């Protein structure tokens, strides 16, 4: 296979399994797979495009599994899907015009806020509560904004969705996590389409890693459905902290 050896393929598929597992629970799978792509010598543009392909397997698997478990209804999420699709398309189109360094500098600060809010709000997301903002307005604002961000940059997208859904729409963390995967899949598909049109996807490698993602996502969603919101909260905090550390290291090293 071009760019990688058989051993490296096995390493990448194993990494995709763990990424699918973590991503299905709390997002952040990209902090596992992207460094792996780069560590085996795959050029950055191909790494980004192939990462979107394999990640789409995981987010789709998680979305379908959560739907089967009754945690989400695609019909009720159509407004969010439409605005996220539009936001991701705009973000992908604008990728050349906004300096990524600016986002790389601001993002750790925003994620630190998410981490501290979750850490010091121990009862956040334990139960469904009344929404603080109308559903349509929420998806108009956050579908466009987070969709744009994911189409343009990406790291931390799942964390932003989960915290927004839990705090503003009043979802418990299990439902917020399930809804997040639908929105992740929506923006992933938009970005993947652009990368495919640009010839920046290694299909065979992406599909093999996608099988790993699919397996990890199935296991992760099974644990979310089986366990309570405290389990999701613990994994969420770990993933957000790891994402912050990853971004800080990339920024200063």
Please, are residues 29 and 19 in contact by the beta-carbon 8 Å criterion? yes
Contact (CB, 8 A) for 242 and 28:
yes
Q: Which tokens belong to 171? A: 């979802």
Nearest to 147 by CA among 205, 200, 94, 207: 94
Q: What's the pLDDT tens digit per position in 167-197?
A: 999 998 889 999 999 999 999 998 899 889 8
246: its two tokens: 């990853």
pLDDT per residue as tens digits for the range 122-155: 666 666 778 889 999 999 999 999 999 888 777 7
Contacts 24+ apart (CB under 8 A), 224-229: 224/24, 224/25, 224/66, 224/174, 224/177, 224/178, 225/65, 225/66, 225/69, 225/71, 225/174, 228/174, 229/125, 229/126, 229/172, 229/173, 229/174
User: How many Å from the N-terminal Cα to the C-terminal Cα in the chain?
Assistant: 31
Give 198-223 as a 3 state SS string: CCCCCHHHHHHHHHHHHHHHHHHHHH
Over residues 86-97, the mean pLDDT reads 78
Alpha-carbon 24 to chain mean position: 8
Compute CA distances 182 → 62, 110, 168, 178, 247, whole Å: 8, 22, 18, 7, 25
Average pLDDT score over the chain: 85
pTM reported for the whole predicted model? 0.83
Residue 13: per-residue pLDDT: 95
**Comparing 249 with 95, which gets the higher pLDDT?**
249
Q: Who's near 186: CB < 8 A, 6+ residues apart?
A: 81, 84, 85, 88, 147
Q: Which residue has the higher pLDDT, 162 or 102?
A: 162
Taking residues 49-62, report their average pLDDT. Answer: 92
Is the per-residue pLDDT at 218 higher than 80?
yes
Q: How far is CA 151 from the centre of its chain?
A: 11
* Two tokens, residue 80: 């969010």
**Two structure tokens written together for 155:** 């790291």
Contact 133, 125 (CB under 8 A): no
């Amino acid at each position: 296979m071009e760019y990688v050896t058989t051993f490296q393929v096995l390493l990448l598929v194993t990494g995709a399994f763990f990424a699918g597992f973590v991503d299905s629970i709390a997002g952040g799978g990209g902090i596992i797979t992207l460094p792996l792509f780069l560590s085996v010598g795959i050029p950055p543009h191909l790494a980004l495009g192939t990462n979107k392909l394999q990640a789409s397997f995981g987010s789709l698997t998680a979305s379908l599994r959560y739907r089967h478990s009754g945690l989400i209804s695609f019909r009720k999420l159509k407004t969010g899907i439409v605005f996220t699709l539009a936001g991701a398309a705009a973000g992908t189109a604008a990728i050349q015009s906004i300096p990524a360094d600016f986002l790389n500098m601001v993002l750790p600060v925003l994620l630190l806020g998410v981490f501290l809010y979750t850490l010091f709000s121990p009862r956040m997301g334990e139960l469904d509560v009344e929404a603080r903002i109308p559903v349509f307005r929420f998806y108009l604002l956050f579908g466009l904004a987070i969709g744009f961000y994911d189409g343009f940059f990406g790291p931390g997208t799942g964390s932003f969705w989960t915290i927004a859904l839990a705090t503003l729409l009043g979802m418990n963390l299990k439902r917020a996590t399930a809804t997040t995967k639908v929105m992740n899949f929506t923006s992933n598909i938009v970005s993947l389409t652009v990368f495919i049109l640009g010839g920046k996807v290694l299909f065979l490698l992406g599909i093999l890693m996608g099988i790993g993602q699919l397996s990890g996502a199935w296991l992760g969603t099974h644990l979310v459905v089986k366990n309570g919101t405290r389990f999701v909260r613990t994994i969420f905090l770990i993933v957000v902290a790891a994402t912050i550390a990853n971004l800080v290291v990339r920024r200063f090293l």
